[in-house]
């Protein structure tokens, strides 16, 4: 019996996580769900969208599955998702992008896994508003120490990339490659321009790669990588990227395999792991039993693998593949015509999968 923190989230989160809970239980693996609400409604009731009890629960259970959470604009608090990743030091964002037969996509045979660094780079949140004391101090300091001038009316975001942060994300990518019998890891960067941040990322990646002689290593400049992924996605296997490029390239890769409805994800650290779809809360569809639950269900497949339940994960993945291939019990976004009146509901997709789990 696994005790797992279940965060339904808001918007369409509760509907899709309920679908995921039902299919995960149908695999026969025993779960005890520690349900922890977070997000918009919780903010109204408890004054914070992410109460301490949610963090405590994940620390207790080590593993969580989560629905998306809306980041309200203009309320002054940071994204719950970013706070969770930082508080629990979930430094690897893992996003597999695999084509399923029958999914609406331009490509076949794609099987990529993206490792995005989750804690540093331009996402570290170290920013200085135009005309602020901080921005002025940085402009002065840069002038003094390098003789370079930054325009006075600039806003500034800092891009820290460390040996520590790079070493652990590249190691995570190689460990994954070894464990899952992957052939190649590609480090993606812009080291030709940002020599001391991306250059360091590349240097550390090369050093880590030497410890894994059984796995091929190469590096690619991020702009070239984007073109290559569109032209020859089959050439790539595991990609490891700093935070910003990882964010952008993982959406590009999700687009290659059929869109956000099919893009699962995991945020993993040394102690805790939180599994969630790549997409957001799609609030306009809230309560309609309409959106695609497959991304969060596929995140559940990743969770089963993380728990060591490989056989149950394979059975669930096969049931999902069979539903997609048949193309009948899929939601509107996966139908050739999105207005198809025969599109399945969120709960209908879960029922179809459950009926096929062997």
Which chain residues interact with ligand NAD by CB under 6 A?
68-71, 81, 260-261, 276, 279-282, 284, 291-292, 295, 333
Residue in the structure block whose two tokens are 């048949």:
326
Cα distances (Å, whole numbers) of residue 123 to 14, 86, 127, 158, 188? 28, 11, 10, 9, 17
The one catalytic residue among 223, 232, 270, 328:
223
How many whole angstroms separate alpha carbon 12 and alpha carbon 287?
Answer: 7
Q: How many CB atoms sit inside 10 A of residue 136's CB?
A: 13
DSSP E strands: which ranges in 127-226?
A: 127-128, 156-157, 184-189, 216-221
Q: How many CB atoms sit inside 10 A of residue 140's CB?
A: 11
To the query of whether residue 314 is one of the catalytic residues in this protein, the response is: no
Nearer to ligand NAD, 197 or 345 (CB): 345
Nearer to ligand NAD, 188 or 291 (CB): 291
How many whole angstroms separate alpha carbon 126 and alpha carbon 140?
Answer: 17
Q: Min. distance of Cβ 200 from ligand NAD in angstroms?
A: 28
How many whole angstroms separate alpha carbon 295 and alpha carbon 86?
Answer: 23
To the query of whether residue 247 is one of the catalytic residues in this protein, the response is: yes
- Alpha helices (H) in 211-264, listed in sequence order: 222-231, 243-256
Active site residues: 123, 190, 223, 247
């Amino acid at each position: 019996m696994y005790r797992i923190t279940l965060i339904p989230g808001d918007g369409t989160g509760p509907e899709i996580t309920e679908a995921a809970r039902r299919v995960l239980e149908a695999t026969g693996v025993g779960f005890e769900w520690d349900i922890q609400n977070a997000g918009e409604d919780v903010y109204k009731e408890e004054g914070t969208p992410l109460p301490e009890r949610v963090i405590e629960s994940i620390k207790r259970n080590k593993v969580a599955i989560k629905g998306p959470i809306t980041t309200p604009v203009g309320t002054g608090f940071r994204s719950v998702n970013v706070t969770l990743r930082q508080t629990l030091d979930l430094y690897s964002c893992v996003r597999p992008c695999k084509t399923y037969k029958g999914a609406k996509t331009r490509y076949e045979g794609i099987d990529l896994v993206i490792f995005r660094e989750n804690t540093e780079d331009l996402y570290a949140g170290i920013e200085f508003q135009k005309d602020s004391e901080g921005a002025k101090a940085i402009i002065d300091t840069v002038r003094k120490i390098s003789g370079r001038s930054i325009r006075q009316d600039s806003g500034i975001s800092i891009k820290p990339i460390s040996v520590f942060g790079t070493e652990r994300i590249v190691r995570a990518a190689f460990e994954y490659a070894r464990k899952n019998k992957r052939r190649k890891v590609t480090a993606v960067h812009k080291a030709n321009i940002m020599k001391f941040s991306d250059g360091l990322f590349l240097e550390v990646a090369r050093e880590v790669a030497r410890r894994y002689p059984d796995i091929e290593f190469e590096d690619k400049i991020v702009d070239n990588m984007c073109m290559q992924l569109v032209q020859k996605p089959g050439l790539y296997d595991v990609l490891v990227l700093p935070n910003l490029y990882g964010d952008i390239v993982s959406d590009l890769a999700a687009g290659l395999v059929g869109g956000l409805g099919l893009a699962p994800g995991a945020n993993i650290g040394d102690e805790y792991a939180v599994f969630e779809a790549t997409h957001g809360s799609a609030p306009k569809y809230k309560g309609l039993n309409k959106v695609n639950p497959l991304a969060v269900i596929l995140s559940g497949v990743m969770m089963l693998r993380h728990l060591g339940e490989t056989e149950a994960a394979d059975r669930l993945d096969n049931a999902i593949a069979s539903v997609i291939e048949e193309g009948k019990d899929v939601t509107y976004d996966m139908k050739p015509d999105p207005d198809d009146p025969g599109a399945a509901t969120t709960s209908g997709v879960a029922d179809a999968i459950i009926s096929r789990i062997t």
